[in-house]
Amino acid sequence: MCGIVGIIGDKPVSRLIYHSLFSVQHRGQSSAGMLTYDGNIHVTKDAGLVREVFDEEKKINMPGNVGIGHTRYSTAGMDDIESLKRNAQPEYLVNPFLAAVHNGNIFNCYEINKLTKRIPRTECDIQCLLLPMADRLYKKELTPDVIFEACYSVMKILKGSYSALFLADSGDNPYLFAMTDPYKIRPLVLGESNGLYCLTSETRVFKKINFRYIKDIPGGSVIVIDTKGNIYEKQLIKKQEKPCMFEYVYFAKPDSRINGRSVHNVRFELGRFLAKTYPVKADIVVPVPESGRHYATGYALESGIPLDEGIMKDKDERSFIQQTQESRDKVVEEGLSYLRAVLKNKKVVLIDDSIVRGTNIRKLVKGMKNAGAKEIHVRIGCPPLIAPCYLGIDMRSKKEFIARDKNGRIKTWEEIAKEIGADSLAYTTIEALKQAIGSDICKGCIEFPDGYPEEWKEDVLKLFKKDRKNRRAYET
């Protein structure tokens, strides 16, 4: 899972890309980068947050009327600082000149690497998009039709999720083009302002840079834009779209819309469902900040139990997307405090979006009880996570999930409640999730293996059997 942005038009774009990256910072915190092009390549990328990587004015103001940017959430490669630096995007080649950024995860990179004589410069799966695309554009006079043909050829060999942006040189008129996987697992949207066009992960970017939303890019599509504002688009492979349910549950910001559906409204409706289906007698509803807030609003409205802020968040880092368990724990321990005046002697409904490993919710329940809460009833806006995601969420091993025991058995809700110290626990159902989102969804991590697209079931079962703790199966 990453944040991507590409802008093209008749004026310099670097400052717009820089501001856009702040709007997708929540999608990746391990590295950030930007590349612009004016006949020469101008690139800045490094490990760290956007404000840390672009710490000088010269890194923000780069020439070029076309550019791409990226905030990275690591689903490939090692997690040490040197690896994060090396795997930062955008990534590019010079023969032919082609630059790319990617949101998603390609799980058959080993196969793809055998199909090209080019040597990957990094361990990141961006190479599985960049290298075969470069092979197909090599020594070609670029036109939209040539790009469509190359993208279709690459699509046929890829397995996984991708919303990818490419920047290609065609002489005086460079192209920005995008490619989405046929199931449209990762979001991609198009916006416009005064002859400038923007392709990015979330609609909230358009509010930041004052662009007008035009459309969501369909699955299996390629869209090509030049600096004159000409747009060429084809849907090359048409399948039933299966957007990632975790985009709605956790990753996307609540002020974004995916396929026309408000992320806030989805979370609000799931909160209402929890209140109707799993009611509890309580004094207050408390959200886990900020991830549980919109669910808690829906729960409180439906149940009539007042909403209150029993937990305060002191940091803006997201614990789930930290690279290691140690860093996740640090964010939780250092980033939260408990309001005794709100919690003391209260029966509390604690609301969050999901439980993966259980470490964070266990610490929250303990902290609230230490602050005087009498009872804590946990309600979760996502069904139990039971299997690794191979399509862009870094849940590496089946051994990570609190919902599975060491023998692979799925635990009961009562067992999990006891482990986290809660008085009761209830999750949203898969059907409620589909109803709130309003479409079919990719749900491989909550309904394994049937929740994956049918054509990948055999592949994901093989990956599941290769599973090793703290190792991604598609990298072993």
What six digits make up the tokens of 292? 């549980």
Q: What is the DSSP string of 78-98?
A: --SHHHHHHT-S-EEEETTEE
b/e 370-382 (16+ beta carbons within 10 angstroms → b): ebebebbbbbbbb
Angle at 190 between CA 188 and CA 191, to 5 degrees: 140
Give every CB contact of residue 333 below 8 A, 6+ residues apart in sequence: 363
- In order of 42, 116, 184, 231, the CA distances from 147 in angstroms are 23, 18, 19, 13
- In order of 196, 226, 304, 361, the CA distances from 451 in angstroms are 39, 38, 35, 26
**Are residues 188 and 243 in contact, defined by beta-carbon separation less than 8 angstroms?**
no
Of the residues 2, 128, 382, 389, only one is catalytic, namely 2
What six digits make up the tokens of 246? 């975790």
Tell me phi and psi for residue 360, to 5 degrees.
Answer: -70, -45
Tell me the C-alpha distance between 212 and 127, whole Å. 32
**Are residues 74 and 126 in contact, defined by beta-carbon separation less than 8 angstroms?**
no
128 noted as active-site residue: no
Tell me phi and psi for residue 124, to 5 degrees.
Answer: -75, 145
Look at strands 196-200 and 189-193 and give their pairing: antiparallel
Q: What is the DSSP string of 249-311?
A: IIIS-TT-EETTEEHHHHHHHHHHHHHHHS----SEEEEPTTTTHHHHHHHHHHH-PPB---E
Look at strands 231-235 and 196-200 and give their pairing: unpaired
| Residues tagged active-site | 2
